[in-house]
Amino acid sequence: MRRITELAVIISLILGVSVLLVLAASILIPGVEVRQLAFFYLYTTINPWFQNYTVNSPEAVTAIVWDYRGLDTLFETSVFYLALIAGLALARGLFSETLQGSFNEKTSGLSTIVKTVTRVTAPMIIAVGASIGLHGHLTPGGGFQGGATIAVIPLVFIVVYSAFFLIARGVTSNKMLVLRSIGLLGIGFISIATFLIGLAIGRFAYVFQNMPKPGAIVGLPADINGALISGTLWFFNLFEMIAVAAGFTIAFIILLLAGRGGSGGR
């Protein structure tokens, strides 16, 4: 029976791969043209002669993520937030953030050379992360990528100094949860900012609206004093960066402190 199953698996693999090769030869070679939808996105992402439909962002991916499909991204951020809440609930009692015994910064952790190098590179990593995040509407990158880059800092500090270094400096999971919630609230506020402006001046406006649309002339400015911010995109990226950096820090703190203190998992 087992041999027949193995034979069937091998034969179906061969047949399946052959079908895929035939398909690859005819379909999977990409064409010269893109789809109509993609053409629309590329044509309108920044187009001064198409003011009613443009996003004024040279980065088409960020334009789709935070403008054309903004609601999608809002829920995606919420899913990440819920996963963190689930993680905190599951890890309840597994980790303790109170310092046990005496914690000495001088004696714990790796050597002085590693510590000094970490201290020097940390601001550089933050600068790179902030640049990736805040230039998300101009160059490849965005809030999520920038936040993930910044979140490397707490991880490196936990490894190089000690697990309790961040706790001793006041970076606890509760504070990070507050920061994370501020980021999420900021995203929520920016998503209805244009709508609120519309309410205030008595004009019709959509939720998640960025640039003026036909029939809804309210919109955020595309640039401030010549510096392109693409309306809501810059603010979305800023708050997403804060939220993601804080979220990853929570995950690292829980995972690296798990098993220290607490009453066990039962």
Binding site for other proteins (CB under 8 A): 13, 17, 20, 24, 28-35, 37-39, 41-43, 45-49, 58-61, 63-65, 69, 72-73, 76-77, 79-80, 82-84, 86-87, 90-91, 94, 139-140, 142, 144, 251, 254-255, 258-259, 264-266
Give the span between the Cα atoms of 216 and 204, in whole angstroms: 5
Please identify, using beta-carbon distances, which residue of 28 and 120 lies nearer to other proteins: 28
Q: How far is the CB of 192 from other proteins (least distance, A)?
A: 21
Q: Residue 119, CB half-sphere, CA atoms under 13 Å: how many? A: 8
Q: How far is the CB of 131 from other proteins (least distance, A)?
A: 15
Please identify, using beta-carbon distances, which residue of 187 and 205 lies nearer to other proteins: 187
Please identify, using beta-carbon distances, which residue of 122 and 258 lies nearer to other proteins: 258
Amino acid 111 reads S
Q: Which helix (H) or strand (E) holds 224?
A: strand 223-224
Q: How far is the CB of 70 from other proteins (least distance, A)?
A: 11
Please identify, using beta-carbon distances, which residue of 32 and 227 lies nearer to other proteins: 32
Q: How far is the CB of 67 from other proteins (least distance, A)?
A: 10
Please identify, using beta-carbon distances, which residue of 221 and 259 lies nearer to other proteins: 259
Please classify residue 192 by burial: count the beta carbons closer than 10 Å to its beta carbon, then call 0-12 exposed, 13-18 middle and 19+ buried: middle
Q: Give the closest residue to 233 by CA, choosing from 250, 221, 245.
A: 221
Please identify, using beta-carbon distances, which residue of 45 and 194 lies nearer to other proteins: 45
The SS3 call for residue 25 is: helix
Please identify, using beta-carbon distances, which residue of 24 and 200 lies nearer to other proteins: 24
Q: How far is the CB of 36 from other proteins (least distance, A)?
A: 11
Give the span between the Cα atoms of 151 and 154, in whole angstroms: 6
Question: Any idea of the CA torsion for 109, 180, 81, 45, to the nearest 10 degrees?
Answer: -110
Q: How far is the CB of 259 from other proteins (least distance, A)?
A: 8
CA-atom Rg of the chain in angstroms: 25
Q: How far is the CB of 23 from other proteins (least distance, A)?
A: 10
Strand pairing class (223-224; 227-228): antiparallel
Do 231 and 66 touch, CB atoms closer than 8 A? no
Q: How far is the CB of 128 from other proteins (least distance, A)?
A: 18
Please identify, using beta-carbon distances, which residue of 161 and 252 lies nearer to other proteins: 252
Give the pair of three-digit tokens for residue 252.
């690292």
Those residues whose C-beta lies under 8 Å from the C-beta of residue 243, and which sit 6 or more positions away, are: 77, 81, 143, 147, 179, 180, 182, 183, 184, 186, 187
